[in-house]
Structure 1
Amino acid sequence: MNTIYEYTQSNILVLPQALFALKDVSVLMHRGDAVIFRKHLEQDLMDIEFYTNQPCLIFIESGRETLTNSDNDTIELHAGSAILLGQGLNLHSDFVKSTETLKAYLVFFDELMVVEYLKKAKRDVRVSSAEQGFCVLADKDNCLANFFTTIQSDITSSSYLDVKLQELLHLLAFVGDKDTIHALLSKKAISTKRNLHRLLESDEVLFLTIRDLAQLSGRSISSFNRDFKRIYRITPQKWLRDKRLTHANTLLERGTISVTDVALEVGYDNVSNFIRVFKLKYGKTPNQIKRAN
C-alpha cells in the first residue's frame, strides 16, 4: 500500500477513488460513492495534483494546507477552516510541516444524496455563484469542528451515514454562502483545466507538441493559446523553443555529450534545424559553446 507521495509520483489523485488504497488515509464511513476519510500526514508533501470526481468537503483539524487552482491562485487552509470543492476541479496541494502534523477530514457526497438535499432545501441557484468551483467556509462558531467530533465510525449502518451527511449539508449552507454551496453541489465545476505553471515546470514538456500540451492541460488549442499568452506574455511556440534552447545550452556548457545527442535530448529530430535556431538565439553554434567549455 502506497503513501500519497508514492502514488502521485506517477499518478494524479482522482478523488475519492484513489484514497481507498493509501496508507496515510483512513476510511471512517462508506456507502457507495458517499464516504468520509481522515487524512494524517506527518512529513512535508508538496505539489500533489488531484482531481475531484465528486463534490468534496475538506476540513482541517490541525496543521496547514495550501491549495492552488488552475489560475495559480492559492487558498490557505488552517486548523478549523474548510473548503467545499465542486465536481471536476483540478488542484494542487502543498503541506509543509512546521509544528503540527496535518490532520484533515475529506467528505464526498454522492449524487442521490445531493439531489435529496437540494429538493428539501428548495434551492435558488444563481448561475454566476459557483464560477470559482469552490467555496471557502468561515466556521466562526465551530459548527463543522463540533460536527466531526460527533461521528461514530463504529456505527456501520448506511442510514446513519445518510443522516450525518444530510446534517453536514445543512451545516454547510448555514456556515457558507448558501447560493454558492447549492450551485457547487448541483453541477460540475466551471472548468477542469490544469495549472499551467505547475504543468510546465517539468523538463518532460520539451518533447511535447503544443497540441500535446493543450490536451494535457485540459484545454482546447485556442483556450490553451489564450491562457498561455495571458500568463507568459509570449506565444507557447516561442516559449517552448526558448525552453528547449536554454536547456540545450546548459547541456552544451557541461560538455559531456555530443551536439547530436543534445539536439535529441531537447526534442529536435533534425540536427541541422537545431543548429540553425540555436545560432539565431545565442549568436554561436552549439559546437562553439561546447568547445568554449
Structure 2
Amino acid sequence: MLKIQEGEFCALLIFMPDEFISTVIKTDVDVKDKSLQNQAIESIIPISLDQSLLDYFHSVLNYFSQSTTPSKSLLKVKLRELVVNIATGKTNPALAECFSKIAYCTKIDLKAVMEENFTFNLNLTDFARLSGRSLATFHRDFAKTFQTSPGQWLKQKRLEYAKHLLETTDLSVNEITMEIGLENTSHFIKIFKECYNDSPLKYRKSAFA
C-alpha cells in the first residue's frame, strides 16, 4: 500500500456497482472455488500496487488529462480491465476474494456484518449491500436476527461503545462522536444523556470518581 507522507498527491476514485463487478467476474474470470463462506465483506480493503496496476492507473489518468472526455464505452472497458486485473492477479488476494463474494455469495452473516461495521458512518442501504441483501430483505432478516430495528440496534450499540471509550480512553467527546460512526456531536450528547441520564463528560467524571 502506497502511503503519502507529505506534499501534493493525486487521488483517483473509481466507483463500480456490485452488479458490474458480479457480471465481470462471472463472464471473464475463472473462479476455481465458488463455494465461498458467507462471511462479511470488509468495508475498507487497502490495495497494493504492482507494476501492472501502476500502469493501469497511469493509463486512466492520461485519458482524463486530455481535452476531450473519454467515452462511456471506453471507461466501461477500462473498469472491466481493472476488475479482471485484480481478480486474476496475486497482489490483492483480499480484494479478489471480495469480488468473488460479490459474484457468488448470496446472504452473508448479518451479525458479522453489523458487529464489524457499526462504527462506520454508513446508511442502511450500505449495510444491506455489505450483507448481500436487498434493503427489504435486510430489514426482514434483521428483525428475525436481532428482534429490533436496525436504527435502534445501531443507536444502542454505538452508545455502548461510546460508554466504553469514555471509561477507557481520554478521547474528547468530538473524537468519540466520530469513533462511533456519528457526525453530529450535539446529537450524540443528546442521545447519550437520554440513555444514561448524564452528559458524556459528567459520565466520565463519575466513572473515575
**TM-score where L is the length of structure 1:** 0.36
**TM-score where L is the length of structure 2:** 0.49
Which structure has the higher relative contact order (CA within 8 Å, separation 6+)?
2
Greater per-residue helix proportion? 2
